Amino acid sequence: MDYFKEIGKKLSARCGEGELGENFPELAAEVLAAFPVPAEVGIEFMADWALGRERLPEQVNFHSGFGEPPLVVYEEPRFYAEVLFWFHGRTSIHGHGFYGAYQVLAGYSIEAQFAYHRDHEPVPGIQVGALEPTALRLITPGGITRILPEEAFIHTVMHMGNPSLTLVIRNKGGLVQFDYSMNGLGVNAYQDSQSHVRQAEVLSAFHAANPDGFETRLLEFLKTGSAHRMARVLKEMEHEIDEEFLVGEIHELAVERFGPLGELIIESLTRTISGNMIWDEVAGMDDPAIQLRTALLDLFPENQDLLAVVARTFPDREPADVLENWTDTVSKLS
């Protein structure tokens, strides 16, 4: 039996005819729940599945940036299912341009959900406001989450595993999707995304071929274009940009061109780079309990903030007891 094909066919039959919208997350979650995750799902299972086929389903959604890699395992005109491979790391804080559901297949995840309080939109594609953590939960294999669009479901997922695997079922989308930063900056992730991704890739190639001339070339590029383009391209290049260069010349140019908005753009990327350093530490750890505590520092460097969101999520339990229970759970999973 092809596990993924059976899920796709069952969901297709349940959906009937017509467009998929508000009803789709519930339908997708119900179908996922009807097919228990095979005990053998892991990197070997997925390698056998992907490499044992002459032809894969159409691989769509190349520009999303999610998954290492994303592997489409079922596709039809209205929706598709993909398994996202994740090594230790955290997704951006993001809304969704689609309806759907996701399920952890292997490894485990910590999901933080947020409410976004928008103040204003200074330029097309960028919002400024406040991001408020509302919930934090541990998701173990088999756990299913419904995906609602745009600001109805804003979250980030911390993936723990080598790799962890997540099955995402989603309609073909087409709605607006924003990425958010803890400083309240919101950036439209889909607006001109093909151009921005390719421009970042060309700059990365320039960096590989001519590292000595890279900084000058990047600064010349950033002297033109919108604030939205600056935010998106810099985010795409977070691993190539030296932090000293970012907080120095790039910061100076961003503030000169865009004032307080430029300050927010650089601040958000600086925090992302600091978070990447935390995840580098996590990847090098063997103790799952220490991994968990270290990973949580990325979002919650202050312990009282972590305890506050845990208390909000589980009002009838002591936050420290919840975290201790999570530690025990992940130690048994690893």
Q: Mind listing the pLDDT tens digit for each residue in 194-208?
A: 899 999 999 999 999
Is 141 strand, coil or helix? coil
Here the tokens at position 300 are 């919650």
| Cα dihedral 208/212/213/216 (nearest 10) | 120
The Cβ of residue 12 has, within 10 Å, a number of other Cβ atoms equal to: 15
Average pLDDT, integer, range 230-248:
93
Instruction: Tell me how far apart the alpha carbons of residues 197 and 233 are, in angstroms, rounded to a whole number.
Output: 7
Q: Is the pLDDT of residue 242 over 80?
A: yes
What pLDDT, on the 0 to 100 scale, is given for residue 88?
Answer: 87
Q: Is the pLDDT of residue 19 over 80?
A: no
Question: Beta strands 79-86 and 70-75: pairing type?
Answer: antiparallel
| Sequence ranges of the domains in the chain | 3-188, 193-279
pLDDT tens digit string along 262-309? 999 999 999 999 999 999 999 888 888 899 999 999 999 999 999 999
Instruction: Tell me how far apart the alpha carbons of residues 73 and 225 are, in angstroms, rounded to a whole number.
Output: 38
Q: Is the pLDDT of residue 170 over 90?
A: yes
Question: Does domain 3-188 bear CATH number 2.60.120.10?
Answer: yes
Question: How would you label 80-110 residue by residue, b for 16+ Cβ within 10 Å and e otherwise?
Answer: bbbbbbbebbbbbbbbbbbbbbbbbbbbbbb
User: Any bridge partners for residue 144, and if so which?
Assistant: 103
pLDDT tens digit string along 22-79? 889 999 999 999 999 998 999 999 999 999 999 999 888 665 567 788 999 999 989 9
Q: What percent of the chain has pLDDT over 70?
A: 97
Q: Is the pLDDT of residue 258 over 80?
A: yes
Q: Under a CB-based contact definition with an 8 Å cutoff, are residues 261 and 123 in contact? A: yes
What pLDDT, on the 0 to 100 scale, is given for residue 59?
Answer: 87
Q: Under a CB-based contact definition with an 8 Å cutoff, are residues 278 and 286 in contact? A: no
What pLDDT, on the 0 to 100 scale, is given for residue 65?
Answer: 64
The continuous run of DSSP H or E covering 299 comes out as: helix 288-299
> What integer best gives the mean pLDDT of the chain?
92
What pLDDT, on the 0 to 100 scale, is given for residue 62?
Answer: 62
pLDDT tens digit string along 171-202? 987 788 999 999 999 999 989 888 999 999 99
Instruction: Tell me how far apart the alpha carbons of residues 272 and 232 are, in angstroms, rounded to a whole number.
Output: 13
Average pLDDT, integer, range 234-249:
92
Q: Under a CB-based contact definition with an 8 Å cutoff, are residues 71 and 46 in contact? A: yes
Q: Under a CB-based contact definition with an 8 Å cutoff, are residues 150 and 176 in contact? A: yes
What pLDDT, on the 0 to 100 scale, is given for residue 133?
Answer: 96
What pLDDT, on the 0 to 100 scale, is given for residue 1?
Answer: 67
What pLDDT, on the 0 to 100 scale, is given for residue 60?
Answer: 82
What pLDDT, on the 0 to 100 scale, is given for residue 190?
Answer: 87
- Of the CA atoms within 13 Å of residue 10, those in its CB half-sphere come to 16
Specify the pTM. 0.91
The continuous run of DSSP H or E covering 227 comes out as: helix 227-236
Amino acid occupying residue 132: E
Average pLDDT, integer, range 323-332:
92
